[in-house]
A and B are shown apart, each in its own frame.
Chain A
Amino acid sequence: QKEVEQDPGPLSVPEGAIVSLNCTYSNSAFQYFMWYRQYSRKGPELLMYTYSSGNKEDGRFTAQVDKSSKYISLFIRDSQPSDSATYLCAMSGSGGSNYKLTFGKGTLLTVNP
């Protein structure tokens, strides 16, 4: 079993749709959870960051972390064509070598006008 599982898609939605992305993980030591958006030939852009469990909202984006289920989600409301990109979940523990990020494979999202 991989440490982090993420459905690679591709996922295609119409403009204005609500997009739901998620990842599951197996390492109970993970405490830091992040979602990134990566456009082709660009570095990943941090969208949401959560420490431990809980929900976080920023504009059209909502991140949820459920540590008891080892499940994290990212919701995108009112999706736009400019949201078309690869979305990566990432997580880490704390301290020393546990600081390095473990990534999901990424989900390729296309938002159609």
Chain B
Amino acid sequence: GAVVSQHPSRVICKSGTSVKIECRSLDFQATTMFWYRQFPKQSLMLMATSNEGSKATYEQGVEKDKFLINHASLTLSTLTVTSAHPEDSSFYICSARDYDGGAVFFGPGTRLTVL
């Protein structure tokens, strides 16, 4: 099956710093990528939808100035958590929609811990 990678898999940072998470579709082109966060034992919560070459569409309640999303190419999207605080600690997961077939593949996730 198609592969989506995320980097880093785990990051620990101090409060106030910014953290960038990369999401790559390794063997297919993805015009649309999605960013989620997930708290323990809870459902995936969609944060934003990013389309290659255009601005991301954020879900209600998600601060676009805090969670910066860039989808610069058909295989790469990045999420930057700016001025991270402990309440931003969570599991962040990206997914990518296969341009050809429509299936959506998820990355392995990034665990962010803000001290």
* Interface residues, chain A, with chain B CB atoms under 8 Å away: 32, 34, 36, 41-46, 49, 51, 88, 90, 92, 94, 97, 99-101, 103, 105-106
Measured in the bound complex, the distance between the Cα atoms of B98 and A34 in whole Å is 13
The number of chain B residues with a CB under 8 A from chain A is 24
In contact, A51 and B109 (Cβ under 8 angstroms): no
In contact, A32 and B106 (Cβ under 8 angstroms): no
The A-contacting residues of B in range 40-75, CB under 8 angstroms, are: 43-44, 46, 49, 57
- In the complex, the number of residue pairs spanning A and B with C-beta atoms less than 8 Å apart equals 54
Q: What chain B residues lie within 8 Å of A92 (beta carbons)?
A: 104
In contact, A41 and B111 (Cβ under 8 angstroms): yes
Closest CB-CB distance, A9 to chain B, in whole Å? 13
In contact, A99 and B106 (Cβ under 8 angstroms): no
Q: Return 6 A-B CB contacts under 8 Å, by A number.
A: A34-B103, A42-B109, A43-B109, A44-B44, A100-B46, A106-B43
